[in-house]
């Protein structure tokens, strides 16, 4: 998948990746890649500024902690982040329902 | 070992960043960790060490593009820090100066003749500048948090820097105006109390320091392409 197509959804993807767990930067990148079956092809360096942006918005908090014997900055969702994730999921469902109604086949648009 | 591809990438990236030393160090530490993790992952997949490092750097992204995104975050963080300083220091400084004046010099009416109306207007405006500048900084901080995901980071960084420059500029202008006005009405008042002269000097030092912070904010925000 093209990086430009992903950028607009990066915040939501990061929030979803952090749902219910605390991860460091590279673990988040691995989860994103594994979760997409390797289809997410974003420069990994863009994830860190995006995490800072989410932190600034109060959706994520970070802490330096020792993971696997190394000191890492780990991230987790805040309550505001949980609410933002719910809103992102709801908006995404609404969006895909609308688009699928037109592009998904079966409707009058699919016949033309 | 000092010339491997990760070291070269890190040096290049580090040389392009400007901001709080701690923030830059944190970002670079995180970057190096990420590149080492990616290298280990590629080594596990059977690549040679050099190839694994090269792939890790390649996947991380072109240094110019990544530095640009990092710099935008550093600039906004520096802007936020400066606005916090302005919101706290300006009213405290003004209150300390006024309290000191009341204690050491007393109310202005005690000087004998009542100053002209235009002087009182400048004095009142100067009294308000610190509070207004502090309030504007606070509002900018709150809006910055609300708008963090809605607006481009580069734009927010430039806005924060502009507000900081404007806030310090207004306070500077207010202080310069009251000093010029006092000198015009009765220059001897400026030197009437040594402790108050020292307090004024401290006030100016703080304002200049805040001005330098605000200028660095702008510099951090404007090196972003």
By Cβ distance, the residue of B27, B38, B148 closest to A56 is B148
Q: Is residue A58 part of a domain?
A: yes
B149 contacts A11? CB cut-off 8 A: yes
Residue pairs spanning A and B at CB distance below 8 A: 68
Query: In this predicted structure, what is the pLDDT of residue B132?
Result: 93
Domain contains A98? yes
Per-chain mean pLDDT for chain A: 86
Q: Cβ of B69 and A72 within 8 Å?
A: no
Q: Where are the alpha helices (DSSP H) in A18-106?
A: 25-35, 47-56, 79-103
CB contact under 8 Å between B27 and A58, yes or no, is: no
For A55, half-sphere exposure in the C-beta direction (CA atoms, 13 angstrom radius) is 18
Q: Based on C-alpha coordinates, what's the Rg of chain A?
A: 17
| A70: in domain | yes
The whole-angstrom distance between A95's CA and the closest CA on chain B is 18
Whether A48 and B65 have beta carbons less than 8 Å apart is answered as no
CATH code: domain of residue A63: 1.10.10.10
Summarised one tens digit per residue, pLDDT across range B22-74 is: 999 999 999 999 999 999 999 999 999 999 999 999 999 999 999 999 999 99
The domain tally of chain A equals 1
ipTM: 0.81
Cα B178 to the center of its chain, rounded Å: 25
> Which of A44, A57, A59 lies closest to B59 in CB terms?
A44
SS3 of residue B149 by DSSP: coil
Q: Bigger pLDDT: B189 or A52?
A: A52
For A111, residues 6+ apart whose C-beta sits below 8 A from its C-beta are none
A29/B34 touch (CB, cutoff 8 Å), yes or no: yes
What's the Cα-to-Cα distance from B160 to each of B23, B166, B167, rounded to whole Å?
Answer: 17, 10, 10
**Given an 8 Å threshold on Cβ–Cβ distance, is A45 in contact with B27?**
no
As a whole number of angstroms, the distance between CA B222 and CA B225 comes to: 7
Structural domain of A45: 3-103
- CA B172/CA B209 separation, integer angstroms: 11
**SS3 assignment, position A60:** strand
- Between CA B86 and CA B96, with CA B91 as vertex, the angle to 5 degrees is 125
Closest approach of chain A CAs to the CA of B183, in angstroms? Answer: 46
H-helix or E-strand spanning residue A107: none
Taking all residues of chain B, what is their mean pLDDT, rounded to a whole number? 89
Task: Give the whole-number percent of chain B exceeding pLDDT 90.
Answer: 64
pLDDT the model gives residue B1: 45
* Domain contains A111: no
Backbone φ, ψ for residue A107 (5° rounding)? -85, 180
Domain boundaries, chain B: 5-61, 73-222
């Amino acid at each position: 998948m093209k990086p430009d197509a992903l950028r607009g959804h990066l915040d939501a993807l990061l929030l979803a990746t952090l749902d219910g767990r605390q991860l460091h930067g590279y673990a988040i990148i691995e989860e994103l890649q594994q979760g997409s079956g390797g289809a997410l092809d974003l420069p990994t360096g863009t994830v860190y500024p995006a995490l800072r942006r989410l932190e600034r918005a109060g959706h994520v908090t970070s802490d330096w902690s020792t993971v696997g014997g190394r000191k890492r900055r780990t991230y987790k969702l805040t309550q505001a982040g949980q609410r933002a994730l719910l809103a992102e999921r709801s908006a995404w469902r609404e969006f895909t329902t609308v688009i699928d109604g037109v592009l998904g086949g079966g409707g009058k648009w699919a016949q033309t | 070992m000092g010339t491997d591809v990760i070291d070269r990438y890190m040096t290049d990236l580090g040389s392009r960043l400007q901001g709080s030393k701690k923030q830059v160090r944190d970002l670079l530490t995180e970057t190096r960790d990420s590149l080492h993790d990616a290298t280990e992952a590629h080594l596990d997949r059977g690549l040679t060490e050099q190839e694994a490092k090269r792939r890790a750097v390649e996947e991380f992204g072109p240094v110019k593009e990544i530095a640009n995104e990092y710099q935008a975050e550093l600039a906004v963080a520096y802007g936020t820090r400066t606005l916090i300083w302005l919101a706290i220091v300006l009213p405290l400084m003004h209150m300390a100066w006024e309290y000191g004046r009341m204690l050491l010099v007393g109310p202005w009416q005690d000087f004998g003749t009542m100053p002209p109306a235009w002087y009182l207007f400048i004095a009142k405006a100067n009294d308000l500048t610190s509070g207004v500048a502090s309030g504007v900084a606070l509002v900018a901080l709150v809006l910055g948090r609300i708008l963090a995901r809605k607006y481009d980071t580069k734009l927010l960084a430039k806005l924060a820097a502009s507000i900081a420059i404007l806030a310090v500029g207004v306070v500077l202008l207010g202080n310069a105006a009251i000093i010029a006005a006092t000198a015009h009405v009765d220059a001897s008042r400026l030197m009437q109390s040594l402790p108050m002269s020292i307090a004024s000097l401290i006030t100016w030092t703080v304002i200049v320091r805040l001005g330098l912070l605000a200028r660095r904010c702008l510099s951090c925000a404007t090196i972003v392409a």
